[in-house]
Amino acid sequence: MGIESSCDETGVGIVRWVGDGTLELLADAVASSVDEHARFGGVVPEIASRAHLEAMVPTMRRALDEAGIARPDAVCATIGPGLAGALLVGVAAAKAYAAAWNVPFFAINHLAGHVAVDTLEHGPMPPCVALLVSGGHTHLLHVEDLGKPIVELGTTVDDAAGEAFDKVARLLGLGYPGGPEVDRLAREGDREAVVFPRGMTGPRDARHDFSFSGLKTAVARFVEAKERAGEPVPVADVAAGFQEAVADVLTMKAVRAAQDLGVDTLVLGGGATANSRLRELAEGRCAAAGLTLRVPRPRLCTDNGVMIAALGAHLIAGGAQPSSLGVATDPGLPVSVSQITV
C-alpha cells in the first residue's frame, strides 16, 4: 500500500508484486482538494493539510474495498519532498495504520515514485532518462535501476513547468489549474505566430537545467505591450507560442540527456505530461532519435498513492529494510534518496 499526501492529492494505492519487476494494480483511490485552491490561483498549504485530514480515512476505506483486502503486507508513504504540513498527515496516518495492522512501514521518495509508477503500465524498467514535469517539479533524471539511487541530471533554476502554465493562464485570464486551459486554447492558435524565448538553451547554459521564469516574463511583456497599444491580445496564439516554447525545451533536453548517457528509453511523469504538445513532440523526437518513449496514462502521471506503492514494492523486492516509525518528514528530500530508514 502507498499513501500520498505531498501536495493537494490524498492518495491510497494498492499494488501486488507479480515478480520480475512486474506489478498488478489492485486499488487507486484519490481525493483532490484542487477545487478549494482555485480561487487563490495556487495550492494553499493550510487548506491542503486540512483537506488531507478529512479525506484520509474515507480514501483508505475506498482503497481497501476496491482491492478487496482487510490489510496490506506493508504500508509505504511519501516522506518528501512536498508541503510540510501536508506530508505530516499522510505519514502520521501511514505509521498509525502500520502499527495497528502490525506490518512494516516504508518512508518513500515522491519523485522516485513518479518514475516507478510506469512499471505498472509498461513492465520492468530498463536503464532510462526520466523527465518529471508537474506543478512543483521539473527534473531530468538518470535511472539505472529502481533499486539504486536516482541521479539528478538537471532541474529548474526557477519556476516548475506546470507552475509556468498556471501563471501564464492567470495572465491570460484563464482558470486554475492553468495547464489544461492553456492546452485547450492553444489548439485554436498558431504556435509560430508569437515566438517566445527558449530559456537555458544557449551555449553557456548548463545542458540539463531549465528556466521558465524568463518565458513567463516575456509573455507578460507581450500582453502588456498589446494592451498599452490598445490592440486585442491574441490569446490563442500566445497560449500556443508559450506551450511550444515549454514543450520544445523539455523534449529537446530530455532527448539530448538520453543520447549523452547512451540509454535508449525516455520515461515521462508528473501532471504536466498530460500536455498534448509535449506528448506530440516527445513522440516525434524520440522516434527520430531511435528512443523508446514510455508515458503512463494521465491518471498515473498526476499525484496518487499507486506510485508510492509501486516504488515501495520494487524496493521491498530488492531487499529494502523497513523504516523506523520515528522517521521524520523531509519537505526538501533530494531525488537520490529513494527511502529514509532512520
Q: Which of residues 254-293 bind Fe ion (CB under 5 A)?
A: none
Read off the C-alpha cell for 255.
532527448
For Fe ion, give the closer residue by CB, 210 or 222: 210
β-partners of residue 244 are none
**Per-residue contact flags (x/-) with Mg ion for residues 190 to 229, judged by CB under 5 A:** ----------------------------------------
**Per-residue contact flags (x/-) with Fe ion for residues 32 to 71, judged by CB under 5 A:** ----------------------------------------
| Residue 244's binding partner out of Mg ion, Fe ion, ligand ATP, none, with CB under 5 to 8 Å set by partner kind | none
For ligand ATP, give the closer residue by CB, 212 or 222: 212
For residue 8, state whether it binds Mg ion (rule: CB under 5 A).
yes
| Residue 162's binding partner out of Fe ion, ligand ATP, Mg ion, none, with CB under 5 to 8 Å set by partner kind | ligand ATP
Q: How far is the CB of 103 from ligand ATP (least distance, A)?
A: 26
Cα 18 versus chain centre, distance = 25
For Fe ion, give the closer residue by CB, 6 or 251: 6
> What's phi and psi for 35, nearest 5 deg?
-65, -35
Read off the C-alpha cell for 316.
521491498
Q: How far apart are CA 254 and CA 257, in angstroms?
A: 5
For residue 166, state whether it binds Mg ion (rule: CB under 5 A).
no
Q: Which of residues 229-268 bind Mg ion (CB under 5 A)?
A: none
Q: How far is the CB of 96 from Mg ion (least distance, A)?
A: 24
| Residue 338's binding partner out of Mg ion, ligand ATP, Fe ion, none, with CB under 5 to 8 Å set by partner kind | none
3-state DSSP assignment of residue 133:
strand
Q: How far is the CB of 303 from ligand ATP (least distance, A)?
A: 5
Which string of b and e fits 273-295 if b means at least 16 CB within 10 Å? bbbebbbebbeebbeeeebebbb
Q: How far apart are CA 267 and CA 194, in angstroms?
A: 30
Q: How far is the CB of 302 from ligand ATP (least distance, A)?
A: 4
Cell 482558470 -> residue: 175
Which helix H or strand E contains 32, and what residues bound it?
A: strand 22-32
Q: How far apart are CA 184 and CA 309, in angstroms?
A: 32
Which residues touch 224 (CB under 8 Å, ≥6 apart)? none
Which amino acid is it at 255? V
Give the residues lining the site for ligand ATP (CB under 6 A).
6-8, 82, 134-137, 162-163, 165-166, 177-180, 183, 270-272, 274-275, 302-303
- Binding residues for Mg ion, rule: CB under 5 A, are 7-8, 303
